[in-house]
Amino acid sequence: MKRRHFLLGAIGAGGALVVGWGLLPPRGRLGTAELLPPSAGRIALNAWVRIGEDGSASLVMPRVEMGQGVHTAIPMLLAEELRLPLERIRLEQPPPHAIYGNVAMWLKYLPFPPGDGAAGEESGRRRAARWLMLKVGREVGLDITAASSSISDSWPVVRMAGAVARQLIVEQAARQWHVPAAQCVLASGMVSHPKGYSAGMGAFVARAAYNVPEAEVRPTPREDWQVIGRPLPRMDLPAKTNGTARFGIDVRPPGLRFAAVRMAPVLGDDLESLDEAETLARPGVEAVVRLPAERGSTGGFAVVASDSWSARRAADAARPRWRGGGARSASSEAVLARLRAAVDTDEGFAVQSRGDLEAAFSQAAAVVEARYEVPFLAHAAMEPPNATAWLRDGWLTVWAPTQAPGPALRAAIETSGLPSRKVDLERTFVGGGFGRGLEVDIVRHAVRAAMAVPGRPVQVLWSREQDLAHDYYRPAFAARFAAALDRDGRVSGWRLRTAGDSVVLNWLSRNWLDVDAPVPDTSSSEGLFDQAYEVPARRVEHVRVRSDIPVGNWRSVGHSHNAFFIECFIDELAERAGVDPLRYRLDLLRSAPRHRAVLELAAERAGWQDPAPPGRARGIAMHECYGTIVAMVAEVEADGSPVPRVHRVCCAVDCGAVVNPGIVAQQMEGGVIFGLSAALHGRIDVEAGEVAQRGYGEAGLLRFAEAPLVETHIVQSTRPPAGVGEPGVPPIAPAVANALFALTGRRARRLPLSIA
């Protein structure tokens, strides 16, 4: 009992403990049952697991489901420990409490890790990084689903929570039956003993809740897994195939009003004036609401009406005057020009510095240099930004298809001015997250609309055009790489230099944390300093080039461009060395057997050693992203159109222990399609502060007829699981670019690709 109270008290002590948290053993994050509000018929055994007297179970689920399958994979961990069919586990929304924060995301995906810089630089950076970690944990909060971290984060906690629950129930049964607990078996929700005793686990949970386990508790070992590793059907699919799945846009509190939004065409501009009376006079309109430009959003207005069509029509017919400020002179072309210039300077930070680069270059038998660049990209999730808010008698409820419930709740509290205990955030399915769901401007819009019609719920829904024009884009990036090759063609050193805006610093400043110190955002360089390639001397540098074009997290973030840069570059090195690209990489991975295994599996299943079908060529790429290693071989044809035709993609993946291989395959397929859209079509151009791409046709999404057949081969592993939501994205662009070279003899140095 003492230990449990200590942990509960410690968790409440504020940000300092967030650091300690990551170091606590899994039991330290179990919390206590008191954290959960009472629930009829279900008794909590800790802050995560409830058992019903009817033998059902519920699991607190802080992570959101946006298609990546976590609402199946995470409950599978509990199903394993409780020996319960997956269908008997219900998911529960978490109460707002720091214990449900995503610690793995925060610990593993540190945007400010102390790198291998010079000593003085490092200690200063370490201090800044530590300060920032504490501040983020304390102020921004970690109730976020991102960074392919949900399984990693849940793995120790949910398994332990389930194991403790199992142990408590079994021990209680043993106590009542006067038998040794070790002889009792829990299976399919029933506890039994060889003497013939048997009862549903629900019979014991009420008494069990008062106890602590007597014996040491361990989650089920790998050799006994019955659930983990099986391709169980996803729990959310039945509802997603009959129209009953509830997305943000489907929320329907009684008396719901509908609001359309129009924001200034120029990014960051604001509303100067609007004839509200004229708009109010339109059919069905009930309110007109100003939406100020705030925290990185663009200002505008919302029209609240009795139905979406009336709201839309009135918003379109309105004649607003825009202030004429914002990013009026922002131009993506100008940004790219600045990026190209920036990589030629010596400005910025060295994220990684090892070995004697000067010696490597001065002794080089050959030097290879290349420049690359990629454009801004939009998210364009199928469900456009929306949120619903209801202000009643000083209480506010918000429903949002958000990836960031913590920041969303905070935005609702701040915008409404209400005390936090009077604000509630309800999660829904997310119709495509991809990082766009981490932005909470839409929540502010919904709360403002609700404040304009108190007592009535309002759903604010952006149009597709507004979504494309007011995104937080994947930043444009430029790269300049140089490698020194020795006489044998091996890389003895490389200098990888990139330029682009900072996603993390931009996101933090939109979410209450303005970072003035020149702390490097190492996510800008992720994928360049963290790969397993053996290069004795290396320098990875980045210069932040700020612009007024808002940037945000886009599925795989820094990896989304850096994998293209580095995997195309390695192919160029292989070509220069006169070595097959697969063999060249295997040599670079000579000290990395795990990575070699993934690469070899992809190559073998793709038939790399055999000639490609006539008219087609293959390209290969390998990338480690957020702890998961993925290799891809793309088979490409030039069929007369300006864009290469990708027929087949063979993926191999090592994501550590696999929870659900069916979901892993889905995520590889999805990552390929997402990355291929960007590789073949994606671009966002900004001219005079306005985004040029308008309708969905210009968003660059890959079409059905263009989709390759993706095969997924999983490498078995005993390591703890890493995620798969994002790692399928980075390798496809370079794999296709490398195939294009094999096909045409020309190197692609920029995206989107074309056969010019």
Q: Which residues are at the interface with other proteins (CB under 8 A)?
A: 66-69, 233-234, 236-247, 249-250, 252, 258, 283, 307-310, 312, 380-384, 429-434, 461, 463-464, 662, 666, 669-674, 695-697, 701-705, 707, 709-710
Q: Which two tokens stand for residue 632?
A: 């891809």
Nearer to other proteins, 68 or 522 (CB): 68
Q: How far is the CB of 383 from other proteins (least distance, A)?
A: 5
Amino acid at 522: T
The minimum distance between CB 230 and other proteins, in angstroms, equals 13
- Would you call 205 helix, strand, or coil by DSSP? helix
Q: Name the minimum Å distance from CB 608 to other proteins.
A: 22
If the CB atoms of residues 191 and 651 are measured against other proteins, the closer one turns out to be 651
CB of residue 594 vs other proteins: minimum separation in angstroms?
Answer: 26
Q: How far is the CB of 55 from other proteins (least distance, A)?
A: 26
Tokens of 524: 């800008």
Is 101 or 644 the residue whose CB approaches other proteins more closely? 644
Minimum CB–partner distance for residue 619 and other proteins (Å):
19
Closer of 293 and 672 to other proteins (Cβ): 672
Angle at 532 between CA 526 and CA 533, to 5 degrees: 105
Nearest approach in angstroms of CB 57 to other proteins is 24
Parallel, antiparallel or unpaired: strands 185-187 and 89-92: unpaired
Q: Would you state the structure tokens that stand for residue 279, as one six-digit string?
A: 């708009």
Residue 37 carries which DSSP code? P
Pick 6 or 309: Cβ nearer other proteins: 309
Minimum Å distance from CB 240 to other proteins? 3
> CA 688, CA 329: separation in Å to the nearest integer?
5
Q: Which amino acid is at 161?
A: A
Closest CA to 269 of 245, 238, 300: 300
Coil, strand or helix: which one is 386? Answer: strand
* Residue number, 247 or 512, with CB nearest to other proteins: 247
Question: Which of 237, 341 has the CB closer to other proteins?
Answer: 237
- As measured in angstroms, the least distance from the Cβ of 432 to other proteins is 5
CA proximity to 499, closest of 516, 527, 524, 530 = 524
* Nearest distance, CB of residue 307 and other proteins, angstroms: 4
Residue 254 carries which side chain, given as an amino acid letter? Answer: P
**Of the two residues 265 and 662, which places its CB atom closer to other proteins in the complex?**
662
Least Cα distance to 299 among 331, 327, 332 occurs for: 327
Nearer to other proteins, 168 or 461 (CB): 461
> What span, in angstroms and rounded, lies between the C-alpha atoms of 473 and 469?
10
Q: How far is the CB of 522 from other proteins (least distance, A)?
A: 28
3-state helix, strand, coil in the chain (%, to 5): 35, 20, 40
SS3 state at 745: coil
8 Å CB contact between 86 and 79? yes
Q: How many CB atoms lie within 10 A of CB 386?
A: 26
Q: Three-state SS for 323?
A: coil
Q: How far apart are CA 30 and CA 40, in angstroms?
A: 22
* Identity at 583, one-letter amino acid code: R
Per the listing, tokens 């000579």 go with 590
CB of 727 to other proteins, least distance (A): 14
Amino acid at 403: Q
Which residue type is seen at 340?
R
Nearer to other proteins, 101 or 431 (CB): 431
Looking at beta carbons only, is 189 or 248 nearer to other proteins?
248
Sign for the CA dihedral angle at 687, 691, 697, 703 comes to positive
Q: How far apart are CA 409 and CA 414, in angstroms?
A: 9
What is the C-alpha separation between 20 and 42, in angstroms, rounded? 31
Q: Which is nearer to other proteins, 354 or 464 (CB)?
A: 464
Measured from the CB atom, is 327 or 634 closer to other proteins?
634
Tokens of 511: 């979410």
Strand partners, 199: 191
Angle between helices 70-82 and 150-177 (to 10 degrees): 30
Within 8 A by CB and 6+ apart from 254, the residues are 457
The DSSP 8-state label assigned to residue 299 in this structure reads P
441, two tokens: 């401007």
Sign of torsion over alpha carbons 305, 309, 312, 314: negative
Least distance CB 285 / other proteins (angstroms): 13
Spatial CA neighbour of 402 closest among 626, 587, 580, 143? 143
Q: What pairs with residue 631 in β-bridges?
A: 622, 652
The smaller minimum CB distance to other proteins, of residues 421 and 703, is found at 703
| Beta bridge partner(s), residue 398 | 389, 425
